[in-house]
């Protein structure tokens, strides 16, 4: 890295605020993408947990987009000089409902920047805090911490961390084929231009992966959707997830769940049975 950690940590405390309106069409579109029957979405309909990701979209000018499909670095996020960027995980507090028809505001702040040494080189972790408020409320309805990791380009001979076997015997299970149409639709819904999700030549020849990468937020959404399918009346007050291993579009994936008192253990696995995402949802008593 030719940028010092001190330079990157100078971004801590930087903030931005974005306004939006919770419209019905994105809700109907994600509902269809998750393969549910068509629904009516009148004003006042509460968003399922994580569906706020359909709003506050990154509306960067085309001339500001970098080679990987993300916005060029050095705006709100620090200019980390490492080429690969991934969503490592998130933590949420769902304090109040966000409803269709609400005027919403999201204030984002760079909470922390840290440097670690991984097996294949330096890793830079950026933690962003988001607070979503509805209708000019004083207190946030959602508090989210978003963990981003930056890595060096893949090199021949790089040794990846050993895979972890996923738990077996989950009472809730669903198999999903993450084909390129599903990935395209989710990228479009979230206005995500990152080429690793739709550009097979780029992801295999430039970033060195075997196939298109399934979005971490999409897998997290599928985990929460599994909970809703089995316990539709449950009220989720907290959620956290950690991406463990990349998931590719080449094979089906499986989402799993198990209720454990006031918590629900959720996890995703690939076709070989390796753990790809680990998550926990907390329910209202």
Q: Per-residue pLDDT tens for 91-130?
A: 999 999 999 999 999 999 999 999 988 777 889 999 999 9
Q: Where are the alpha helices (DSSP H) in 75-152?
A: none
Mean pLDDT of 232-254: 96
Mean pLDDT of 171-192: 96
- pLDDT attached to residue 2: 60
d(CA 10, CA 29): 39
d(CA 59, CA 65): 10
Residue 213 φ/ψ, nearest 5 degrees: -90, 130
- Give the confidence band of 67 by pLDDT, cuts at 50, 70, 90: confident
Domain ranges of the chain: 5-283
Residue 1 has pLDDT above 60, yes or no: no
How many CB atoms within 10 Å of residue 150? 23
Q: How far is CA 213 from the centre of its chain?
A: 12
Exposed e or buried b per residue across 197-236, where buried means at least 16 C-beta atoms within 10 angstroms of its C-beta: bbbeebbeebbebebbbbbbbbbbbbbbbbbeeebeebeb
Model confidence pLDDT, tens digit, residues 257-272: 999 999 999 999 999 9
* Lowest pLDDT segment from 27-31, 159-163, 260-264: 159-163
d(CA 138, CA 199): 42
Bridge partners of residue 20, in order along the sequence: 104
Residue 249 has pLDDT above 60, yes or no: yes
Residue 75 has pLDDT above 90, yes or no: no
User: In this structure, what token pair is assigned to residue 195?
Assistant: 């080429």
Residue 83 has pLDDT above 60, yes or no: yes
Q: Which fold has domain 5-283?
A: Thiol Ester Dehydrase; Chain A (3.10.129)
Residue 230 has pLDDT above 90, yes or no: yes
């Amino acid at each position: 890295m030719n940028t010092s950690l001190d330079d990157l940590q100078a971004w801590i405390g930087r903030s931005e605020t974005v306004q939006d309106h919770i419209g019905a069409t994105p809700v109907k579109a994600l509902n269809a993408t998750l393969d549910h029957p068509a629904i009516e979405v009148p004003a006042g309909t509460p968003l399922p947990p994580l569906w706020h990701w359909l709003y506050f979209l990154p509306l960067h000018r085309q001339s500001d987009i970098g080679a990987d499909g993300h916005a060029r670095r050095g705006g709100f996020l620090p200019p980390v000089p490492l080429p690969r960027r991934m969503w490592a995980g998130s933590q949420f507090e769902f304090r109040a409902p966000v409803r269709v028809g609400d005027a919403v505001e999201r204030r984002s702040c760079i909470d922390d920047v840290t440097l670690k040494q991984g097996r294949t080189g330096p890793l830079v972790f950026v933690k962003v805090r988001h607070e979503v408020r509805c209708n000019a409320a004083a207190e946030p309805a959602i508090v989210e911490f978003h963990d981003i990791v930056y890595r060096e380009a893949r090199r021949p001979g790089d040794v990846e961390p050993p895979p972890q076997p996923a738990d077996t015997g989950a009472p809730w299970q669903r198999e999903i084929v993450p084909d390129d149409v599903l990935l395209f639709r989710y990228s479009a819904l979230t206005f995500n231009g990152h080429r690793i999700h739709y550009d097979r030549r780029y992801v295999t020849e430039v970033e060195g992966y075997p196939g298109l990468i399934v979005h971490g937020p999409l897998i997290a959404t599928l985990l929460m959707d599994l909970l809703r399918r089995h316990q539709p009346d449950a009220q989720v007050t907290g959620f956290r997830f950690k991406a463990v291993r990349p998931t590719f579009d080449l094979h089906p994936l499986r989402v799993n769940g198990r209720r454990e008192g006031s918590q629900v253990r959720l996890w995703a696995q690939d076709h070989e049975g390796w753990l790809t995402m680990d998550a926990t949802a907390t329910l209202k008593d």
